[in-house]
Structure 1
Amino acid sequence: MNLTELSDRLFSAMIEADRPGASNIVEEALSGGISPRAVIADVLDPAIVRLGKLWEEQAMSLAQNFVASKIAEDTLLRCVPVRKDRESGKGSVVIGNIEDDFHSLGRRAVSLFLEAAGWDVHDLGNDVPAEQFVEKALEVDACVIAVSAMMQTTALNIRKVRELLDANDLKGSIKLAVGGAVFNWRPELVAEVGGDGTASNAIGADELCQRLRTETGRAVQP
């Protein structure tokens, strides 16, 4: 089964707001022997990247983005359903799109995948000021703040989160993860905005957060 072809079909279903069609594509892949991990990494993620480019080019409406986000959530939940009894002890992550950024697809994918992996995720949504990230992280004792941005212009706003963490002597206890298509296109931007690390897709987010938690010196709670 050709994964590129499946990704193309899923992308088309997302653009056309065809949730039943998208569901059938995912079911076809899974019943055809493709692993849930491969569906996410090789079918869903490339479609999300393509949608992100359309959003950046302003070739995608807000309504299309909303439905595409729902289809992405459907796909993730079909592949990695969130366990009601998910592991406790991995820690808390605060996640959101930085101020002036409204591209929610990638963030929702990461949020759902982290929940499925056992993290306590606090999703703040879109257009989140730097202060709100830090305030929430302190409130829930998060070890990682994960900030998403689609474009370089909005990604530069992440510097404010870095500055707040440093100013409050929190850089050792709260790590800053950054993500979004722009960081895949320009890896050097991670350091420019003060990020402690990035993951190229939702699957890599769990491993990244575990590494960053270890860097804070926090142990997994039993």
Structure 2
Amino acid sequence: MLKLIAIALLTIGSNAWAGVFICADAQGNKIFQDKPCGASFCTKSLEYYQSVSDQSCIKQKQSEIAEQKKMAKAKADAEEAIRLAQAEKEERLSRIKWRAEQDEKLRQEAEAHAIKLAEAQKREADKAIRAAKSRGKYYVQYVVSGSAKYVGITMRNSSGNTEQHDVTSPWVYEFEAAEGSSLYISAQNSNDYGDVNTIIKINGMPFSPAQSTSDYGIATSSLILR
């Protein structure tokens, strides 16, 4: 009989301790819980634990809330960084587009201006040609052009004398000349980069074209009116 009672007590004791875990709380104190160590045993709200003055769970819930806020802030910061990067990219693309539009607008305006200028120059040249022909002479143009901006020129002028000047390219000298006149224009690049071109136009027609692409190069055009 005593043996049966002992067995019964052992059985009851074994069942009473089944599923009980000996763990440590946040402060290192030994606690007993029905969940494995490390599992949260504070499953209710912070307000609840504050109402029952459970300091251990209050601290745990406050720690959880602080961690949640920290993660939420990190997520918000990451999203804000992405938003700012996207906004900066869109602004940069907008500036590139605006600059391209402005460049195209300036190109069209420059092209239209060049066309109008060429038309006006042609009208003036036609007028000068007619006037020269009416006097039995030729309408002559010395034309200097090229990517070299500053050039030094040597030329034979309308009186047949030699002149030298420093000019800015493009440059044109116009005059009337009689048959048998000796025409001469030479242009030297004042820099060690760029190219220089010369040509003589007689009544609007080009003759004796020349070009130099050398450093401080010289281009020379000459002819005698026949």
Q: Classify the TM-score, shorter chain.
A: under 0.3
TM-score, length basis structure 1: 0.23
Q: Which has the larger radius of gyration?
A: 2
TM-score, length basis structure 2: 0.23
Higher strand share: 2
Relative contact order higher in (CA < 8 Å, ≥ 6 apart): 1
Higher helix share: 1
